Amino acid sequence: MSIVFLSPTGQTGGAEAALHELLAGLRQSHPSWSLRLIVASDGPLVARVEALGVPVRVLPFPRSLARLGDWGVGRGWWRRLVFLARCAGVALPALQYLRRLRHMLQADAPDVIHTNGLKMHVLGAWARPRRSAVLWHLHDYAARRPVIARLLRRNAHHCSAVIANSRSVADDARLVCGKEVPIHAVWNAVDLERFSPSGPRIDLDAISGLPAAHDLVRVGLVATFARWKGHETFLRALATLPASLPVRAYIIGGPVYETSGSQVSMGELTHLVTSLGLDGRVGFTGFVQDSSTAMRALDVVVHASTDPEPFGLVIVEAMACGKPIVASLAGGATELTEPGVNALGFPPGDVAALARCLEDLVRDGSLRQRLGDAGRSTAERYFNRRRMAGELTPIYQSLATP
């Protein structure tokens, strides 16, 4: 079995973390398979994948293609005009990139091309050798993105199968790809040794520039700076908590993707902190290379996405670390959690409901312990690498069979 994976970035957002765990699981389960990765930018993912013994080649996107995204398209006619103008400007660099990618894939002649990002779904479909099957791995709701949805719909006949990272995303994919393409819902996995209750933890106060403090409950939002990750909801919920509550908050993460307009800036967040009167009560760590070290330093992990979450990798990672998680319950996140058993939940964007969850957890150490223990059990049962590799193996085998 020969599989080439295509990723639009070498940075480590949720889709890239899931790809790493997939490769690790396949390497363990099928050491004789030929696995290779082509990635469109350098970054931490490259070294992590190479450490698995999987060869990686970096074929950088042209700058204009890397920054092209359809975030915000449909929110005004003028946005559509601007986006169409940008598409025209990127056409020639995209064609040049496509030729180079096609040459690489023809040289490899893989049985399966596994694409791991929206741009790579389209490019992989266009660049595939005739005898290679294309497998789209969807980590997002494509139907909500008008340009991408149209491109995927028009190229679905080049795709042999789709993997969706949740049942919610699978339902969305059927709206885009139709009934002719097989769609399989396969949950992501996490490294249960790296994300575990035991291990190193970082000093959140020192990294954030806050004075050392004891007898505080530390709550943190662990996310990229994507606008829909709910940083504003988190901060506004904190501002409503009683001033006497012994809590300190942290925003852990930073910008990852290059797509223009899709991310909140540090300046916006620090301004909001000041306007809410939270100065000195909220720390910014920036990007943390190993997020497990930050999660272990927290008492509560918060997931606050305002849009439905395709999967919710941070939810599973927090569970694996034995930390209580407060999750925004929409989309794939509803499949991972059982509110009151292994998590607390609140409606997306509901500041008051999130604040109530936080106050309950800050005041009740036994509740934190119970949810954390149940979360670890959930992660061990459902989100290990071998489970994911086992579910994907027959899909790959069916695609590689003439």
224-255 per-position pLDDT tens digit: 888 899 999 999 999 999 999 999 999 999 87
pLDDT of 129 higher than 50 = yes
Length of the chain: 402
Residue percentage of the chain with pLDDT more than 70: 91
**Total number of domains constituting the chain:** 2
In a domain, 124, yes or no: yes
Query: Are residues 95 and 66 part of one domain?
Result: yes
Query: Are residues 140 and 218 part of one domain?
Result: no
In a domain, 368, yes or no: yes
Looking at every residue in the chain, the average pLDDT score rounds to 91
pLDDT of 258 higher than 70 = no
What is the spatial distance between Cα 213 and Cα 263, in angstroms, rounded to a whole number?
31
Segment of 11-20, 149-158, 164-173 carrying the highest mean pLDDT: 164-173
Query: Are residues 388 and 376 part of one domain?
Result: no
Query: Are residues 336 and 260 part of one domain?
Result: yes
For residues 261 and 236, which has the higher predicted lDDT (pLDDT)? 236
Query: Are residues 269 and 164 part of one domain?
Result: no
Query: Are residues 182 and 213 part of one domain?
Result: no
| Tally of CB atoms within 10 A around 306 | 17
For residue range 193-217, what is the model confidence (pLDDT) as tens digits? 999 999 999 999 999 999 999 899 9
Residue that is written with structure tokens 């049962």 in the block: 381
pLDDT of 260 higher than 50 = no
Residue 402 confidence (pLDDT): 63
pTM of the model: 0.86
For residue range 35-70, what is the model confidence (pLDDT) as tens digits? 999 999 999 999 999 999 999 999 998 776 666 665
Q: Are strands 34-39 and 2-7 parallel, antiparallel or unpaired?
A: parallel
Domain of residue 255 covers 204-382
Query: Are residues 298 and 223 part of one domain?
Result: yes
All residues at 6 or more sequence positions from 224 whose CB lies less than 8 Å from its CB, including other chains: 13, 14, 253, 254, 255, 256, 257, 263
Query: Are residues 279 and 171 part of one domain?
Result: no
* Region of poorest pLDDT, from 39-43, 82-86, 115-119, 324-328: 82-86
Sequential DSSP letters for 253-308: -------TT-B--HHHHHHHHHHTT-TTTEEEEE--SSHHHHHTT-SEEE---SSP
Decide if 45 contacts 22 (C-beta within 8 A).
Answer: no
Task: Name the nearest CA neighbour of 325 among 387, 371, 265, 274.
Answer: 371
Query: Are residues 182 and 208 part of one domain?
Result: no
pLDDT of 277 higher than 60 = yes
In a domain, 229, yes or no: yes
DSSP letter at 138?
E
Q: Where are the beta strands (DSSP E) in 177-238?
A: 183-185, 217-222
* Region of poorest pLDDT, from 23-27, 86-90, 273-277, 281-285: 86-90
Decide if 343 contacts 363 (C-beta within 8 A).
Answer: no
For residues 235 and 95, which has the higher predicted lDDT (pLDDT)? 235
What is the spatial distance between Cα 230 and Cα 380, in angstroms, rounded to a whole number?
28
In a domain, 194, yes or no: no
Query: Are residues 60 and 21 part of one domain?
Result: yes
In a domain, 56, yes or no: yes
In a domain, 197, yes or no: no
For residue range 8-41, what is the model confidence (pLDDT) as tens digits? 999 887 899 999 999 999 999 999 999 999 999 9
What is the spatial distance between Cα 241 and Cα 263, in angstroms, rounded to a whole number?
27
Measured CA distances, 99 to 92, 129, 304, 359 (Å): 11, 12, 41, 55
| Lookup: tokens for 376 | 């670890």
In a domain, 199, yes or no: no
Query: Are residues 257 and 136 part of one domain?
Result: no
In a domain, 60, yes or no: yes
- 77: domain CATH number is 3.40.50.2000
Residue 89 confidence (pLDDT): 55
Query: Are residues 260 and 351 part of one domain?
Result: yes
Buried b (16+ CB within 10 A) or exposed e, 95-104: eebeeebbee
What value does the mean pLDDT take over residues 177-182? 90
| Lookup: tokens for 23 | 């490769």
